Amino acid sequence: MSGFDERKKGQEAKFAFDAEKKFRAEARRNKLLGLWAAELMGLEGEAAKSYAAEVVAADFQEAGDEDVFRKVSGDLKAKGVAVSDEALREKMLSLIAVAGEQIAAEG
């Protein structure tokens, strides 16, 4: 195998690893976001875990974060919980960092 082919294969492996890491971090962020929102809505125990799973599943509706944002924002508003769109987006950003750190710590 030539050096070029080896580099290409290495780059493909890195791309796949980075994509999986990004996917895992986003899924973890969505779970953490769901648990945070569940707490604001007064959900506890299994109800909170179930809601967090719904938030994770909402991310599969379309590419990007807007599907998750709409789900959580709509649910909070429906329960009468006052969280601004800006505060929710900031929470999503802070939790993606937390999720990345957790995943890195897990190895």
Decide if pLDDT at 15 tops 70.
yes
Decide if pLDDT at 33 tops 90.
yes
With cut-offs at 50, 70 and 90, classify the pLDDT of residue 1. low
Residue 107 and residue 103: Cα distance in Å, rounded?
7
Kindly report the average pLDDT of the chain as a whole number.
92
The whole-model pTM stands at 0.84
Which one, of 102, 79, 83, lies nearest residue 26 by Cα? 102
Which one, of 85, 81, 50, lies nearest residue 70 by Cα? 85
Over residues 52-69, mean pLDDT: 94
With cut-offs at 50, 70 and 90, classify the pLDDT of residue 46. very high
> 41: domain range?
3-106
Number of domains the chain contains: 1
CATH number assigned to the domain comprising residue 11:
1.10.790.20
